[in-house]
Chain A
Amino acid sequence: MKNEKTLLIGAGIILGIIAPILVFFGNPVNMGFCIACFIRDTAGGLGLHRAAAVQYIRPEIIGIVLGSFILAIGSKEFEAKGGSSPLTRFILGAFVAIGALMFLGCPFRMVLRLAGGDFNAIIGFVGFIIGILIGVAFLKKGYTLGRTYSLPKLEGAFISILQVGALALVVMAPAFIFFSEAGAGPGALHAPIMISLAAGLIVGAIAQKSRLCMVGGVRNVVLFNDWNLLIAFLCIFVTALIVNLIMQNTVAATLGKSFFKLGFEGQAVAHTDGVWNCLGMVLVGFASVLLGGCPLRQLVMAGEGNTDSAITVLGVLVGAAFAHNFGLASSAKGPTANGQIAVILGLIICFVIAILNMNNKEA
């Protein structure tokens, strides 16, 4: 058991170092990683939405799935399984994307924003905890989406095979793939492909081995007084904070970008509307508990052969595309009215899903 803790601490430290390094190499500020934003960028790169500012097939996402896949195969943990309410998971995944794009970050980026001095992320964190507490209340009432069953190996491997295809597209850059033009927005800001891919592979492998999960961190403390996963969360925060401070005092001026800035105003890829920062993350926390893991964990489990997680990832992709097609995603200017309606709708749908799956007889 002690090994598990050491592994999680190590995992947190490595993730906390890699994220600011990706910013150093070109990723947007406080966005070394953001699973929701990067899947959104990938949706844009594939032309599923046409928001010119956020179009780039992010190799980090490809790397996380493949890193998990490769390690799971190597450690004989790869197992093709699924069938636990896939369409419900797809819908929940879509609303995770919509909630995260209201706040402008998945739980992983929320921690990175905290480590960059962005106080708006504190509000987001409060919302995230509230969402998790709501989800936990339903877990205690017997909420379940039902059991998974074994499936053919190819079925479990398909999401990883698709990642190889996505990698080919971003490397070969055929004319039908979209790339945000320089200066257009966050989609144009990225580290070189191979660095992003390598970072993704490392994070995917580490997260697979350590079972790292941002939602699980808070959830397990509430449910079982088990602090293991939350410690990893804290390690990411502390390490990224230290690295950010070092970068801020060394390379920041030369690069012309900020690594650490304390306050609410003028934060990178963020807005200051507290109510909606909070509600966006309530939706992310709630939906993620109903799914059994945060977006990062879904990518990792998808790599391990869990097709329910693969469907969830596709739900995030589609939800992110809708978020831009329907004008739901926030920008630095703040949330949109459509986005506010979508978040409220998402919360209602989560409640309906949670209530109808209490004491599920199928499991």
Chain B
Amino acid sequence: MVQIDARGLSCPEPVMRTMKAVDAGNTEIEVILNSKTSVENVTRFATSKNFKVEKKENGGDTTLILTK
């Protein structure tokens, strides 16, 4: 499981970091985010790459678990 902490990064950096992990061939990726826009963007990107997206809320942070 690769972990990406993309909290506080502005658009489109969270998606780019996720893309890098996907391109590296990872099939289990955990992305921690704290903005609704980033959660939407990463979810849309992961779905388009055929990943399953599981969402966990923890205070102000959202963790997306992407699996293939």
Interface residues of A (CB under 8 A from B): 1, 4, 77, 79, 81, 84, 139-140, 144-145, 147-150, 211, 216, 219-220, 223-224, 226, 228, 292-293, 308, 363
- Given contacts A1-B44, A77-B36, A79-B35, whether A223 and B10 have CB atoms under 8 Å apart is no
Interface of chain B residues 1 through 51 with chain A (CB within 8 A): 7-13, 15-16, 19, 35-37, 40, 44-45, 47-48
Residues of chain B with a CB closer than 8 A to A148's CB: 8-10
B40 pairs with A4, CB closer than 8 A: yes
A226 pairs with B45, CB closer than 8 A: yes
B9 pairs with A144, CB closer than 8 A: yes
Q: Secondary structure at chain B's binding surface: helix, strand, loop or mixed?
A: helix
B61 to chain A, nearest CB (A): 11
Partner among B10, B12, B47 whose Cβ is within 8 Å of the Cβ of A84 = B10
Residues of chain A with a CB closer than 8 A to B36's CB: 77
How many residues of chain B are within 8 Å of chain A by beta carbon?
A: 19
- What are 13 sample pairs from A and B whose C-beta atoms fall under 8 A apart? A1-B44, A4-B44, A79-B60, A84-B8, A144-B13, A148-B8, A150-B60, A216-B12, A220-B12, A223-B12, A224-B15, A224-B48, A226-B48
Residues of chain A with a CB closer than 8 A to B7's CB: 147
Partner among B16, B37, B40 whose Cβ is within 8 Å of the Cβ of A139 = B16
Q: Once bound together, how far apart are the Cα atoms of A226 and B8, in whole Å? A: 22
Closest to A297 in B: B11
Closest to A89 in B: B10
Residues of chain A with a CB closer than 8 A to B10's CB: 84, 144-145, 148, 292, 308
Q: Knowing that A79-B35, A223-B12, A292-B11 are A-B contacts, what are 10 other residue pairs whose CB atoms are under 8 Å apart, sorted by A's residue number? A: A4-B44, A77-B36, A144-B10, A150-B60, A224-B15, A224-B45, A226-B44, A226-B48, A228-B44, A292-B12
Which among B10, B35, B48 has the greatest number of chain A C-beta atoms within 10 A? B10
